[in-house]
Structure 1
């Protein structure tokens, strides 16, 4: 009999398997203490109604403002897709690489070509280890010829970058800076941001940057986000001094647009096929196992960490094979409407009932009128149209103890308002981006 922590799902691609025990919503209260950092927006989030949080990058991360009895996360979703929302995303710690060798160092640690990022622009990037595992997937901002900011996802990228340079000795300073972002997302985000920053904001291209002042505080604005909707991020300089100035300015300006403070919209990012590091992938995941293969360029001549192994993996795939047992796919599935975060990696079975994979990110899609999810299945069962079953907890199952039907589908689940580079390159018939 298999161990419930590690059932009969083939995780031989991994050194440390995911814990697949189905323990449910364990009734444990989060301890608030000095062990975890409070961002300069934390008290403002609490004032705005934040009632639950998690930890991300060792910082408290708001994950709910509207309580379940008042409609919960789907009320926040409606505000995002119909109006405009503000998110506390100070957990996106800003790691600065600055100095004469900033471009060369950055080009060595990311898979894409840093030399093609002009000052005042950014890119979505990944950094890999020598085995090709994805260490982080930051938004990378180039403030100047000699200055890059890594707006990081949930891993200790600062320590990795500093460690790399111990032996490489590039002429750069690598440190965390006192800059914290908020996201402004939704169809009315451009109008709100133009009110805050001036009409010239409307000229910022996707992944373009603008330096300005909001509420008396110096900020950097990028047209980026975690949703697939129109959106921006405001990076507040000297954030521990200026957080309230910017936050309150956004609240005041946002009144006429029906602004709502919400938690990061995982329901919308799933529909857009946007991954969450630590939930959908980690340092043992190759970009070729998930929808990040386009991040491995075919024409980058310069060396970078992981290049040899990633090019080996691509050669195997180009030859018609797949060098891994498991692959991430998009899923549609039955059951009751999944309108909250999953407490476990729910098991996926084949149509004969044999467990073979697990769900990482599920949610209800009102637009598609179905539950959608990202999940891991064997490569041999990853073709679009493959039928399968998902073992949902009683909270969401149609019949207690009976798995619901599911199907492998293409990602994204629906077209983004602001298509990301993956979607753009797919439309162009390319499988990589520079």
Structure 2
């Protein structure tokens, strides 16, 4: 594997990096100091058609989580975004631009509401963790701000629902867009959200135990054998065609 990238301990591997290397990843980018696969053996056009017709597994562990937890978690979350969060319910995901004190865009994450006092910002590429900690300190808020051991894995494509249902159960078929439920996997309750960086339909699975990374990948890979599953990554042709924004 020749990625054209010299890695060091400053660049974090994900729980799925060994898996994508074994499947022939040919390039990485760096997002949030973490490896993001950017190409495999197929051309971008070949990858586009596979994504449109079948199902892919994407290592998007670089989408780090900024966790807000405590009595003032909702106050801090609302301070970070201009989007009104008052009607947000546990089990929902919101697209929530994060802005600075001059209304400049810092990040455009997806916000997951785990409970009334518990949020995850699933971030793009910038140090939102430091911004959230600074706001919490400056406002003297009763909230814990941290980066938990959570590593998203995306399942994207028109056969994604069949693949996810085969592993996590048919109840996942009823999950609405930008909503999530918790599903058992090896004794862990994983967040399974209907979301992702494509318009082909799919899910993002939030693994909260890095030791299970290869197990989760291999389970989905084996279950997807009859669905022509393949490794993939966000496809530029499909993203532009779908009108998906890319900031950071």
User: Would the TM-score normalized by the shorter structure come out above 0.5?
Assistant: yes
Alignment check: 8 A CA contact 1:212 1:220 kept: yes
The residue that corresponds to 2:218 in the other structure is 248
- Give the TM-score normalised by structure 2: 0.95
Residues 1:64 and 2:35 aligned together: no
The unaligned stretches of length 5 or more in structure 2 are none
Alignment check: 8 A CA contact 1:182 1:234 kept: yes
Larger Rg over CA atoms: 1
Residues 1:95 and 2:62 aligned together: no
81, 104, 107: which is aligned to 2:78?
107
The residue that corresponds to 2:232 in the other structure is 262
Tell me the matched-pair count: 246
The residue that corresponds to 1:29 in the other structure is 4
Q: Give the Cα–Cα distance (whole angstroms) in 2 for the partners of residues 166 and 233 of structure 1.
A: 31
Alignment check: 8 A CA contact 2:4 2:27 kept: no
Task: Kindly state the Cα deviation for residue 216 of structure 1 after the two structures are TM-superposed.
Answer: 5.1
Q: Give the Cα–Cα distance (whole angstroms) in 1 for the partners of residues 174 and 163 of structure 2.
A: 14
The residue that corresponds to 1:134 in the other structure is 105
Q: Give the Cα–Cα distance (whole angstroms) in 1 for the partners of residues 59 and 4 of structure 2.
A: 21
Task: Kindly state the Cα deviation for residue 260 of structure 1 after the two structures are TM-superposed.
Answer: 0.8
The structure in which a higher percent of residues are helix is: 2
1:197-230 deviations in Å (ceiling 9; x for gaps): 1111111111111101235543110000111121
41, 52, 65: which is aligned to 2:27?
52
Partner of 2:224: helix, strand, or coil? helix
- Of structures 1 and 2, the one with the larger relative CO (CA 8 A, separation 6+) is 2
Alignment check: 8 A CA contact 2:76 2:135 kept: no
- Give the TM-score normalised by structure 1: 0.55
Q: Superposition pairs for residues 270-419 of structure 1, below 5 Å?
A: 270-278=240-248
Partner of 1:114: helix, strand, or coil? coil
The unaligned stretches of length 5 or more in structure 1 are 1-27, 279-434
Alignment check: 8 A CA contact 1:215 1:249 kept: no
81, 90, 107: which is aligned to 1:119?
90
Alignment check: 8 A CA contact 1:217 1:246 kept: no
The residue that corresponds to 1:349 in the other structure is none
1:121-153 deviations in Å (ceiling 9; x for gaps): 111110111222110100100011110001000
